[in-house]
Structure 1
Amino acid sequence: MEVMESKTQETTMPEVEVNNQPGGTITKIQPSTQPQEEWLKYGEQISSFLATLPEYLGTFYNKYKQPLIFAAVFVAAVIAVKVVLAVLDALNDIPLVAPSFELIGIGYSIWFVYRYLLKASTRKELTSEIQGLRSQVVGQNTSEA
């Protein structure tokens, strides 16, 4: 059986002479004033940006008021729906609550059919209520359209 020899390559580092004699001198590098000037320049830029930021945000808000309000309401609605769904999911994990919700839903459906859908007069009443609600939401009478 042959044993393969691994070849290693020696690398050499340049030798550094260290002064170990007592009383040796150590050279200190003085800090440059240029980085301080750069920091001052950056500080002035940030300060001027922060000074104009309220004015910029005010003009941005005035220019895009409607879309910003719509986006905020939309985000709030999505968050509210997620919270309600999480609460309902937590309630459904409690024993006997889910069947109780189902019974309440079935009972309300039966009442709604009995109250509004069995007779022609109550169907007309329901239609007029829906039309009134639609005109309040849309702002015009949609039966004329």
Structure 2
Amino acid sequence: MASTTAAATTPTRLSSSSSSSSSPAPLIINANPRRPESSAAAAALINSPPPPSGSFLHLRATTAYYAKMARNVIAKASAGEVAAPQAVTATTTPEIVKTLQDAWDKVEDKYAVTSLAVAGGVALWGSVGMISAIEKLPLIPGVLELVGIGYTGWFAYKNLVFQPDREALIRKIKDAYKEITGSSS
């Protein structure tokens, strides 16, 4: 009897009936002949999620109730207390905001300026992403830093060390500024 129980509970291998070499691996089946005695045991074998509890719905309902309750609160002063009148302070806008508002009012093609601002924001976002990707590469950031230091040194030597070169650089900057702004001064 013990030998039949041990044989019944051990998994058995079934091979496919076809003799082709491309057949799948043999299937392992548990040959335990016992069946669950009750429906509760059968339900325990099925892996189903637990039924939703009403606690979440209750929590949401009470939160909504207290949120509505908080909106209906009115504060009243008692008869013995008199509230002192508060001085109304006018908020002044900073000078830079006024300057920006005046400049925006002078703009004729607001659609083009807004489009350029959005394109500039997208370009800034893209360049930040590209720079962060380059920073992750193993050797490139160090090489680019050396190139930047070298170019800065060359630019300073060529344009800033000697006075005639400085004056020529200042003249180029002023000419470019006049060309961009369109002013004659």
TM-score with structure 1 length normalisation?
0.52
Which residue is 1:131 aligned to? 174
Aligned-partner residue type, residue 125 of structure 1 = A
**Separation (CA, whole Å) in 2 of partners of 1:65 and 1:138:** 16
> What's the CA shift for 1:88?
1.2
**Separation (CA, whole Å) in 1 of partners of 2:117 and 2:178:** 22
Aligned partner of residue 118 in structure 1, secondary structure: coil
**Separation (CA, whole Å) in 2 of partners of 1:140 and 1:84:** 32
Residue ranges of structure 1 left out of the alignment (5+ in a row): 1-63
How many corresponding residue pairs? 79
Which residue is 2:142 aligned to? 99
Identify which of structures 1 and 2 has the higher relative contact order when contacts are C-alpha pairs closer than 8 Å and 6+ apart.
Answer: 2
- CA deviations on 1:64-100 (whole Å, 9 max, x unpaired) are 9711111111000110111011111101110111111
TM-score with structure 2 length normalisation?
0.41
Aligned-partner residue type, residue 105 of structure 1 = G
List, as ranges, runs of 4+ consecutive aligned residues in structure 1 with deviation greater than 4 Å.
none
Aligned-partner residue type, residue 99 of structure 1 = G
Aligned-partner residue type, residue 89 of structure 1 = S
Structure with greater proportional strand content = 2
Aligned-partner residue type, residue 113 of structure 2 = F
Structure with greater proportional helix content = 1
Residue ranges of structure 2 left out of the alignment (5+ in a row): 1-106
**Separation (CA, whole Å) in 2 of partners of 1:92 and 1:121:** 39
Identity %: 25
**Separation (CA, whole Å) in 1 of partners of 2:177 and 2:112:** 23
Which residue is 1:118 aligned to? 161
The CA RMSD measured in Å over matched residues stands at 1.6
